[in-house]
Structure 1
Amino acid sequence: MRIHEYQAKEILSNFGIKIPMGGNAKNPEEAFDLAVELGGRCVVKAQVYSGGRGKAGGVKLVEKAEESKVEASRLIGSRLYTGQSGPNGLLVSSVLIEEPVNIAGEIYISILPNPETETHIVMLSNFGGVDIEELAEKSPEKIKRCEIDPVYGLMDYQARDLIYAAGIDIGKRKALFQVLSRMYEIYSKYYCSLIEINPLAITDIGDLVAADAKILFDDDALYKNNELLELRDILQEDPLESIAREHNISYVKLDGDVGCLVNGAGLAMATMDVTTSSGSGP
């Protein structure tokens, strides 16, 4: 299950990780009020289940509170088309109004499971930002990794070694150690399938602030934290998949013309292969 950026940041804040001041607005009037509280100058960010929002026009820096109202009016109720949204785009139901962060440096940090080794992976880079995918493809050596045994969890020495290997400035290592430890605490408590901060901004005064964040939860473990279900936004989901979820059915909408009713991942893949080889599409 996915959640919005503002919800992910609220969770980070509850665990002591710094986030920009601001709040979520469901209409232009709320956006204006939040912008006034921030002094007028703010960032307006469309809240959808997708990355690449900035390149799609979903993130705007405005200088005055009135401009935030205009941007909120433009975004709320519209559909945002990104490289991850699919051809129909995603409905923008709210916008996050935040104070601008004066960024002097950017760090990428994430934790996710590794099914092949039955461990968790922590990834850290001193080169965070919007082009992290390109960095992973062209310069993977700049993203440092650490395998975590789920029995023992993230050990202090592993966190320190990873921070050192990533070349983090010595003056920021202690603060980053705290951020990493708290991220793993969230990851473990809520049975996350991903927790990511990109970028973890190094501000001009030396603070570490989560400028953007993403958290995904393992659907099979949601019963252990029922309060997370309240964070779900069904408007961001495919309608058919939402109906199936309500009936505890695993349903994935594909683009073909043949429906596949299967039991087990291996059988599902074999069925799709047979369907494709016969000239149809699953």
Structure 2
Amino acid sequence: MKIHEYQAKELFATYGIPVDRSIVCRSVEDAVKAYSQLDSQKVIVKAQVHTGGRGKAGGVKLANGEVELRKHAAAILGMDIKGFIVDRILVGQAINIEKEYYVSYVVDRKSKSTILMLSKEGGMDIEEVARTSPEKIHRFVIDPSIGVPDYLAREAAFKLFDDIKQVRQAAVIFQKLYKLFVATDASLAEINPLVLTKEGDIMAIDAKMTFDDNALFRHPKIAALNEPTEEEKKEQNAKSKGFSYVNLGGEIGCMVNGAGLAMATMDMIKLYGGNPANFLDIGGSSNPTKVIEAMKLLLSDQNVKVVMINIFGGITRCDDVAKGLLEAFKQFKTDIPVVIRLTGTNEKEGRAMLQGSGLYVAETMGEATEKAVSLT
């Protein structure tokens, strides 16, 4: 789960991490009021959306005075940034920046632990830095049994700073950020940029956090901040119906019983030159209602040109799946071709039921995949 920058900064502040003073606004008039409260000639206006690249898209502007503030606020509100419409902005005091740095804690699958990532190349896409200049990124694997003790925090800080006063400031920030990361079951806590001001202070002028969805039940206040996208809402709705669903953006909608078979089905589609639209595991139930709901979910995706259903009947009975499909197509009409492969328990009965239904029936996985790809 993602949260907005201003929400992450509020969490930072509760853990004593220094952040710039800023106010979230939902209209130009709100921005003007915030400007008077901040009592600063220059302010930064930043779009609040759940995506990166705001600056490149024109969603971050420096305003010198109320006239410029009004202009930038009006331009950014309503802006489309990578498919996200800006409905709020953050107006904050402009900071005298001397140097920018990158700091984050992230769960690393390779080391099976949290890692602290640091770079002197702050304010840039860290992925681009990693691709072009990997030597500029420093990584520290964090032992969960000891966390980030003083010596490790200072060692990390020395990678960014030479002045001992700045090292001490940064070390404390690293320790507080780790405490926040662990306490909130976060999967990412990022400061980009962490800045050194011309006055010699170190502070976070941007903040990004994502959280483990499976741990949100422990953090109701954080869970209340959730603003799911339309795709995320679809995934949550699927979960409530007993499905495992992930949108992948391709053209071939997949309905499969079993996670392993679903993965193999997506691999087969790629092998034959197609692109899976989703991962959808309907589980081991042979309930016809489940098949109906799954079909509705697949056909709600406008990118889907073909639906491929791959059922291995172990616990699931192929004739029940066939019955569910026939009932589904009585409830709604579609011009999208559907390819179905049934094998296992009652497969002959299931395939017999589908004869004359207008569905493309296959016996093997390869046959079904080849047909689905050709129909796209």
Paired residue type of 2:236: R
For each residue in 1:130-170, what CA deviation from the matched residue of structure 2 results, as whole angstroms up to 9, or x when unmatched?
A: 24333222222222111112233223222222222445432
For each residue in 1:212-259, what CA deviation from the matched residue of structure 2 results, as whole angstroms up to 9, or x when unmatched?
A: 11101011111111111221223xx1x142133155355322222222
In 2: Cα distance, 1:71 partner to 1:165 partner: 37
Paired residue type of 2:232: E
For each residue in 1:2-52, what CA deviation from the matched residue of structure 2 results, as whole angstroms up to 9, or x when unmatched?
A: 011111111111111111112100111111110122234211101111111
Give 2:66's aligned residue. Answer: 65
1:200 aligns with 2:186: no
- TM-superposed deviation, 1:268: 4.2
Q: Secondary structure at the match of 1:183?
A: helix
- TM-superposed deviation, 1:122: 0.4
For each residue in 1:164-198, what CA deviation from the matched residue of structure 2 results, as whole angstroms up to 9, or x when unmatched?
A: 24454322011101100010011000111100001
Q: Which moved more, 1:219-228 or 1:241-250?
A: 241-250
Q: Is the 8 A contact 1:122 1:145 kept in 2?
A: yes
CA RMSD of aligned residues (A): 2.0
Aligned counterparts, 1:118-267, within 5 A: 118-234=112-228, 237=229, 239-246=230-237, 248=239, 250-261=244-255, 267=261
Q: Which moved more, 1:5-14 or 1:266-275?
A: 266-275
In 1: Cα distance, 2:53 partner to 2:253 partner: 31
Rate the CA distance shift 1:147–1:186 in 2: closer, same or farther, 3 A: same
Q: Is the 8 A contact 1:144 1:166 kept in 2?
A: no
Q: Which moved more, 1:259-268 or 1:62-71?
A: 259-268
In 2: Cα distance, 1:278 partner to 1:132 partner: 35
Structure 1 residue runs of 5 or longer lacking an equivalent are none
Runs of 4+ in 1 over 4 A off after TM superposition: 262-268
Give 1:280's aligned residue. Answer: 274
Give 2:93's aligned residue. Answer: 99
In 2: Cα distance, 1:2 partner to 1:280 partner: 31
Give 2:76's aligned residue. Answer: 75
Larger Cα-atom Rg:
2
Structure possessing the higher relative contact order (Cα contacts under 8 Å, 6 or more residues apart): 1
- TM-superposed deviation, 1:261: 3.8
Q: Secondary structure at the match of 2:78?
A: coil
Rate the CA distance shift 1:154–1:270 in 2: closer, same or farther, 3 A: farther
Give 2:52's aligned residue. Answer: 51
Q: Is the 8 A contact 1:41 1:99 kept in 2?
A: yes
In 2: Cα distance, 1:102 partner to 1:5 partner: 20
Structure 2 residue runs of 5 or longer lacking an equivalent are 277-376
Q: Percent identity between the aligned chains?
A: 41
Q: Normalized against structure 1, the TM-score is what?
A: 0.89
Q: Secondary structure at the match of 1:151?
A: coil
Paired residue type of 1:100: A
Give 1:8's aligned residue. Answer: 8
Q: Is the 8 A contact 1:142 1:166 kept in 2?
A: no
Q: Secondary structure at the match of 2:165?
A: helix
Q: Is the 8 A contact 2:101 2:160 kept in 1?
A: no
Q: Which moved more, 1:251-260 or 1:240-249?
A: 240-249
Q: Is the 8 A contact 1:126 1:168 kept in 2?
A: no
Q: Is the 8 A contact 1:241 1:251 kept in 2?
A: no
Q: Normalized against structure 2, the TM-score is what?
A: 0.68
For each residue in 1:112-138, what CA deviation from the matched residue of structure 2 results, as whole angstroms up to 9, or x when unmatched?
A: 111222111001123322243332222
Give 2:31's aligned residue. Answer: 31
Rate the CA distance shift 1:250–1:6 in 2: closer, same or farther, 3 A: farther
Rate the CA distance shift 1:159–1:250 in 2: closer, same or farther, 3 A: farther
Q: Is the 8 A contact 1:121 1:148 kept in 2?
A: yes
